[in-house]
Amino acid sequence: MQRRSFLLSITLLCTGLWLSGCSSPQYLEVTPERSAPVAQVGNGQEVAVFAQDGRDSDVIGQRSGGGMSNSRITVSSHTLIPKLQREAERAVRDMGFTPVSQQAEGRPTLTLELARLNYARADGANPGLDEARLEGVLRAVARNDGTTYTGTYTSSRTQEYALKPGADKNTEMLNTLLGKALDRAFNDGELGALLAR
């Protein structure tokens, strides 16, 4: 009888933990950073730098397979875009340019857009495991002297798990995902060449 009561308590505890993991939405504070070095192609020229959000919604996906609002994962444009702005300015500075916030006649411009950020849950290939499939897409548009160059940089990741990832783990995965997209964007030789023209 005592053993049965113990097993029932353990079952209820596990069920409670599982439900609590599924029942609350996640509002993630993502802070992606570029980690790869960039080529020095500038000579101090001013470049107007802008970051913007091209997504339709701050909701990037669900922690469960259904469409329940209490399992939504949200990354706010108001918190993420200023961080992308800072990273874009840092990259432009490291490339040898002087980032500024105002457009002017004859001044090159660079617009970094968060085109897509998705988080999808799927059944994993291994029994007892689920998968989180993440995708981030950045778009960079450089304009200089009547010429425009557009680059699209995609980063994706699949993560298997037995227990649904918490906010800290999801934030870590998204930081890594967008960091790789930033590395790809600012190591695009054509982008730097147009700004330096």
Closest CA to 188 of 38, 22, 13, 24: 38
Q: What is the pLDDT of residue 81?
A: 98
What is the percent of the chain where pLDDT is above 70?
83
Q: Contact, 82 vs 173, CB < 8 A? A: no
> In the beta sheet, which residues pair with residue 159?
132
Q: What is the pLDDT of residue 3?
A: 54
Closest CA to 115 of 82, 151, 90: 151
pTM: 0.84
**Average pLDDT rounded to a whole number, residues 9-31:** 63
Q: What is the pLDDT of residue 129?
A: 81
- At residue 167, φ and ψ (nearest 5 deg) are -60, -40
Q: What is the pLDDT of residue 20?
A: 43
Please enumerate in sequence order all residues whose Cβ is within 8 A of that of 142, keeping only pairs 6 or more positions apart, or say none. 108, 109, 110, 148, 149, 150, 151, 191, 194, 195
Residue with tokens 């967008």: 178
**Average pLDDT rounded to a whole number, residues 63-76:** 76
Confidence of residue 69 (pLDDT cuts 50, 70, 90): low
DSSP run (H or E) holding 113: strand 109-123
pLDDT digits (tens, 9 = 90+) for 77-114: 999 999 999 999 999 999 999 999 999 999 999 999 99
Q: What is the pLDDT of residue 4?
A: 55
Query: What is the dihedral angle through the alpha carbons of 50, 140, 116, 123, rounded to the nearest 10 degrees?
Result: -140
Q: What is the pLDDT of residue 1?
A: 53
Q: State the distance between the two ends of the chain, measured CA to CA, in whole angstroms.
A: 81
DSSP run (H or E) holding 116: strand 109-123
Neighbours of 1 (CB within 10 A): 5
pLDDT of residue 160 exceeding 70, the answer is: yes
pLDDT of residue 8 exceeding 60, the answer is: no
Confidence of residue 5 (pLDDT cuts 50, 70, 90): low
Q: What is the pLDDT of residue 84?
A: 98
